[in-house]
Amino acid sequence: MDQRLRIYDSLIKMQEHSDVFEHKQEDLLEKISLAEVHCIDWIGMTSHPNVTKISQKMGLTRGAISKISKKLIKKGFIESYQDAENNKEIYFRLTESGQSVYDEHKKIHNEVKQVLLTLLEPYSDNEQAAILRFLTDINDLYNSKSADINEKEK
């Protein structure tokens, strides 16, 4: 993977951990929190998404994902279902409204991606490597904090 894309991935991960990156550009996203948007995103990208899978992908506790998913069901963005082969486990899928949020979120991310990749063009490979190393260190810090929280929940 090209360094600019790896830097982009790190920036997006940082933004997902902050309140700075607001998804309020469309009316559709005004009634939903950033955590809910990202939960919808992971449900849309994951095969047979359940609380455990989504919590691992988002770096949040299962309890937090359970609360978010209940809100999303109440708001009509996702629905729960059980697989005929495993009626014990509860899975999620997007509703039509949830799919609209998912699509809008992807559109926003693609726009940001283009801006950030253009921003990185004038940097040399060595400069991009330094930026990437720095951002990786920040993401590792966030991931270790999330892991600590998940361990305390067990």
Q: What is the pLDDT of residues 46-105, one digit of tens each?
A: 999 999 999 999 888 899 999 999 999 999 999 999 988 878 899 999 999 999 999 988
Q: What does the pLDDT look like over 33-44, one tens digit per residue?
A: 888 999 999 999
What letter would DSSP give residue 82? E
Q: 23-29 long-range contacts, Cβ below 8 Å, gap at least 24?
A: 23/104, 23/105, 23/108, 25/108, 26/104, 28/100, 28/101, 28/104, 29/101, 29/104, 29/105
pTM exceeds 0.85: no
| Domains observed in the chain | 3-153 (1.10.10.10)
Query: Which of these, 67, 108, 75, lies nearest to 94 by C-alpha position?
Result: 75
**Selected residue with higher pLDDT from 99 and 144:** 99
